[in-house]
Amino acid sequence: MHLIFLLFLAPFCSAAVFQLPTKSTGSLRAKLIRAGKYQEFLITQHAARLNTISQPISDYSDEVYLGNFTVGTPPQPVSLVLDTGSANMWVIDASCDNMFCNGWIGSNYTRQKFDTSKSSSFSRENRKFSIQYGKGLCSGYLGTDTVGLGGGLTIRKQELGIANKLDVDFAVQPMDGIFGLAWPALAVDQITPPMQNLISQLDVPVFSVWLDRKIQASHGGSAGMITYGGIDTKNCDAGVTYVPLTAKTYWQFKMDGFAVGTYSQYGYNQVISDTGSSWISAPYAMINDIATQTHATWDEMNEIYTVKCSTMKTQPDLVFTIGGALFPVKSVEYILDIGLDEGKCALAISPLMASGFGPSWILGDVFIRQYCNIYDIGNARIGFANAHHSF
């Protein structure tokens, strides 16, 4: 309406013509490309779109974080560990009815097992599978079925394991299986990992993880978000530090140095980001230095280092140097109250036996709670941004 009015008015106006000088600032796209920031700009733009999908994460004692999925037709609900440290998806078979598959009775968690006979879309393969994790072994057979992630994201034919044998390590875990988020080269039996099957549905081949910290013991409360196709701009700062991956198996990269209290160590270490690991794992020698700086004592019975819970917020930061930037992790993140006696809390750091070829550090949920992790599949890099918390 206003446009038509102005067009008709213009021929009858005799006012002076005003000319303003203009100048070109150059192409924003070209500038960002030259600065190596165009892909980051695109990810940020895509993250603001309505069709990036965020999936809530449930928390168990700030140690196990689960995503809610469905498998089969009609869909059967399962809660799976979101694991960037492995590449296979598996669920527990409903036919498995022993204490390991049913779960430890004192775990405050009721297992949701997958009944293949009730899914019209399930197809069984003639292949068996067996996966040995850092802690825990599972085995069974392979099949394909429909997997739902919520928000309209669906994988029509995902190859997955149907586990009918679990060992004791999985018996005590509040979980119905694992959703592997690592690279295809890490996948057992050469299956295609779920993220590679999702890529065509996403704005950009990226997912990001934000984990919250409850401090008080949680038994399934909402405590995080995984965002497929972009970055969680609500719970994560806009500024992201990216570093290239050194291997496309785990989400592996270089760490330049580490410090705690008066101790510091510099020199490259191979590190992985692992949402499936509750704690930080470090070389044996480093564990001793951290224990010294935090005045931790060894608990022989539970095989962990402990400190007084009263020091949870006053211990020195763990400071990681990655990509030339400092990433301090506060003591409220790495000291956990896991129900020990005499006012003791756990130092959430465990030893890792490095072979010289694999990673020497694992940055698990302790680190990821402090920093949102952005897993950029398209550019083979990982990014870190400050995470937002209420405490």
| Helix, strand, coil percent values for the chain (each to nearest 5) | 20, 40, 40
- Please check whether residue 326 is in contact with residue 320, taking contact to mean a CB–CB distance below 8 angstroms: yes
Of 274, 289, 365, 376, the catalytic one is 274
- Please check whether residue 247 is in contact with residue 358, taking contact to mean a CB–CB distance below 8 angstroms: no
Q: What's the gap between Cα 38 and its chain centre?
A: 24
**Residue 83 is a catalytic residue:** yes
Task: Say whether 315 sits in a helix, a strand or coil.
Answer: coil
Q: Dihedral of the CA atoms 278, 348, 211, 331 (nearest 10)?
A: -170
- Using a 10 angstrom Cβ sphere, with 0-12 exposed, 13-18 middle and 19 or more buried, the burial of residue 135 is exposed
**Residue 167 is a catalytic residue:** no
Of 59, 83, 176, 365, the catalytic one is 83
For residue 210, give both structure tokens: 């934000």
Question: Rounded to whole angstroms, how far apart are CA atoms 22 and 25?
Answer: 10
Residues that are catalytic: 83, 274
